[in-house]
Structure 1
Amino acid sequence: MSSSTPGSDSLVTIFGGSGFLGRHVVRALAPDLARLRIAVRRPDLAGHLQPLGRVGQIHAVQANLRNAESVEAAVRDADVVINLVGVLFEHGKQSFEAVHVEGAANVARAAAAQGAQLIHVSAIGADPESSALYARTKGQAEAAVLAAVPDAIILRPSVIFGPDDAFFNKFAAMARIAPALPLIGGGRTKFQPVYGGDVAEAVHKAVAGAVAPGVYELGGPDVATFKELMRLVLDITQRKRLLLPVPFWAAKMMGSVLQILPTPPLTPDQVELLKTDNVVSEAAIRDNRTLPGLGIEPHTMAAVVPSYLWRFRKSGQFTGRRSLA
């Protein structure tokens, strides 16, 4: 297992490189001087990545995981292929089956044909037998990836946090206008949120050849219930809101109504996901297939989340400060 770092002549194709996690990954890889090809549906919206690297180092190309030909073109001549693409809810042609399963299979087959190393980012809870469609298709995707590339590296993060995340920011925004935050299933579901920069560092190590093929589960140092995470949001944003327990059956009814929205805050499938804890398994800990096992010390939520949730306070970063006048 090589520990060398790709040089300036190496080409890394990153599917989904312009998204939340993608920005962390590009930032982690750019200093290695490898050429980064960002494969996205809208290359015109990937310009924000350019300042992260040298002139000409980062180049965006058009690719849609549902179109095998565009995937093959994006992978051409690549030494490493990284797939970060996933959807939290279905919308139009962006179904779980199309994106998670068919899309991942297209990327894996293209990587295999190119002879490129493959790093696939999945999710904790991925299981082809899961009752939740999201987790089930994530599990089916992993099977499709390993069928095409048996020595692929699969990374399963828990809920990812960091600036612009879709978790803490969503509930902080909700707390700004709503009188209560819902505790689905009583808020007892456990999570192990992981910092996006730590996931990116795991990807970086995999690209550098310092990670053996296999499946790794990535969680932060803190395990907390959904209720505890909502309390954290309220503490940081300095807001007082009611934490309202909502039974799973009632939450599913709410999700059935809300899922018609272009960006639904809740779907029935997400409610189903909340019935299962989202934490690193004992097997992964035992086998050292975790962040610490990769030599990465994960960041705590307390060290990162306040640095970006302050903007949801009534007076932003100045809340609680005394005037000098």
Structure 2
Amino acid sequence: MATNGRTVTVFGGTGFLGRRIVQRLRDHEFPVRIASRHPDRRRSQFGPHDSQLLFVQADIHDERSIANALAGAYATVNTVSLYVERGRETFHSVHVESAQRVAAEAHRAGVKRLVHVSGIGADAASQSRYIRARGEGELAIRAAFADAHIIRPAVMFGPDDAFLTTILHFLRRLPIYPMFGRGSMKLQPVYVEDVAEATVRIIERAETQPTIFECGGPRVYSYEELVGIVARQAGLAPILVPIPLAVWHALAWASEMLPDPVLSRNQVELMQIDTVSSPEMPCLAGLGISPLPVEAILQKMLSKCG
């Protein structure tokens, strides 16, 4: 594949956010390498053959395969995330050790831009193992690649997401909707396509000063308010019932025993804090992006969900 000095390697390029980043990079005419442990399984996600889109085998736990995926790249994006720990795949091994490994290999390879996807609320001092690993990962990345850019999205929504789609799933099946606690926690949902576009603009921008961007949507909701909006647009009128967070933790623990858990403990932990962007942090507007609100695409998601 001809690199023309602009090749971008995307780790996690087949995930919910990653594949949108790949598409946006191609829209901006960047050649892209999608680094994946099982590249042959994922080609069908990207439609017709594209000579400027290459799938390469890479394991974020293995330095050599990371180095091979980064050879000659201009930039790299790391969107790899973990929500349920299994075996050697722990929050620390993925969000700290592997993130640091990608950053170190990128620095060694002479990569000019590194964009790492973290999350609003990342905090190295948190009692939550998931949230703490996110924060520790940011520190490890900066130690290995001083000019790294970090994106912290709020909870992301869009077709085939695990957020609004899950809310809608239960609203349609349960006459009584169980809320996280009293539903008072604050959320600032951000459209996944806006985060993908922000990632590409960070790679394109002339400024190289390392920056943390907090990407939230245009409106802050309480969880109860957001559930109500989804229900009304779906033509539903459920009874919203507060459920103590201790109960949710127990349910999440049981769910994690399943092969495909519908709820994880880190999701419950995130619902215990407000995930709202800080006004002091650069955001989507600073990249020339006007974020779309939930209501703008909810109807499309409703029709797609049947």
TM-score by length of 2: 0.93
Q: Which residue of 2 aligns with 1:256?
A: 253
Deviations 1:168-217 (A, max 9, x none): 11121222323332211211111101111111111111111345421110
Q: Is this contact kept in 1: 2:5–2:73, CA < 8 A?
A: no
Q: Is this contact kept in 2: 1:77–1:114, CA < 8 A?
A: yes
> Partner amino acid for 2:145?
V
Out of 263, 280, 284, the position equivalent to 1:266 is 263
Q: Is this contact kept in 2: 1:49–1:58, CA < 8 A?
A: no
Out of 67, 73, 87, the position equivalent to 1:72 is 67
The alpha-carbon distance between structure 1 residues 81 and 184, as it changes in their structure 2 partners (threshold 3 A), is same
Deviations 1:103-136 (A, max 9, x none): 1011101100011121101100000011222211
- Aligned-pair CA distance for 1:9: 4.1
The alpha-carbon distance between structure 1 residues 202 and 19, as it changes in their structure 2 partners (threshold 3 A), is same
- Aligned-pair CA distance for 1:273: 2.1
Q: Which residue of 1 aligns with 2:83?
A: 88
Deviations 1:250-282 (A, max 9, x none): 222222222211222223333222221000013
Q: Is this contact kept in 1: 2:119–2:134, CA < 8 A?
A: yes
**Which residues of 2 match residues 143-292 of structure 1 at below 5 A?**
143-210=139-206, 212-284=209-281, 289-292=282-285
Out of 267, 291, 307, the position equivalent to 2:300 is 307
CA RMSD of aligned residues (A): 1.8
State the secondary structure of the residue aligned to 1:257.
Answer: helix
State the secondary structure of the residue aligned to 2:87.
Answer: coil
Q: Is this contact kept in 2: 1:24–1:200, CA < 8 A?
A: yes
In structure 1, stretches of 5+ residues that fail to align are 1-6, 317-325
> Partner amino acid for 1:309?
L
* Cα distance in 2 between the residues matched to 1:270 and 1:9: 40
- Aligned-pair CA distance for 1:42: 1.8
State the secondary structure of the residue aligned to 1:70.
Answer: helix
Out of 109, 112, 116, the position equivalent to 1:114 is 109
* Cα distance in 2 between the residues matched to 1:61 and 1:242: 49
Q: Which residue of 2 aligns with 1:322?
A: none
State the secondary structure of the residue aligned to 2:115.
Answer: strand
Q: Is this contact kept in 2: 1:9–1:35, CA < 8 A?
A: no
> Partner amino acid for 2:266?
D
Q: Is this contact kept in 1: 2:5–2:74, CA < 8 A?
A: no
* Cα distance in 2 between the residues matched to 1:165 and 1:210: 32
Deviations 1:57-87 (A, max 9, x none): 1111111212222211111111101101112
> Partner amino acid for 1:290?
C
Q: Is this contact kept in 1: 2:83–2:264, CA < 8 A?
A: no
Larger mean CA deviation between 43-52 and 20-29 belongs to: 43-52
The alpha-carbon distance between structure 1 residues 10 and 268, as it changes in their structure 2 partners (threshold 3 A), is closer
Alignment size in residue pairs: 302
Q: Is this contact kept in 2: 1:43–1:62, CA < 8 A?
A: yes
The alpha-carbon distance between structure 1 residues 49 and 8, as it changes in their structure 2 partners (threshold 3 A), is farther
Q: Which residue of 2 aligns with 1:10?
A: 6
* Cα distance in 2 between the residues matched to 1:209 and 1:120: 16
Q: Is this contact kept in 2: 1:8–1:32, CA < 8 A?
A: no
Larger mean CA deviation between 241-250 and 204-213 belongs to: 204-213
Matching of residue 137 in structure 1 with residue 133 in structure 2: yes
Deviations 1:278-307 (A, max 9, x none): 0001321xxxx0111222111111111221
Q: Is this contact kept in 1: 2:151–2:212, CA < 8 A?
A: yes
Q: Which residue of 2 aligns with 1:99?
A: 94
The alpha-carbon distance between structure 1 residues 302 and 101, as it changes in their structure 2 partners (threshold 3 A), is same
Q: Is this contact kept in 2: 1:16–1:22, CA < 8 A?
A: yes
Q: Which residue of 2 aligns with 1:295?
A: 288
Larger mean CA deviation between 113-122 and 236-245 belongs to: 236-245
* Cα distance in 2 between the residues matched to 1:231 and 1:42: 40
Q: Which residue of 2 aligns with 1:126?
A: 122
Larger mean CA deviation between 143-152 and 293-302 belongs to: 293-302
* Cα distance in 1 between the residues matched to 2:206 and 2:243: 45
State the secondary structure of the residue aligned to 1:282.
Answer: coil
TM-score by length of 1: 0.88
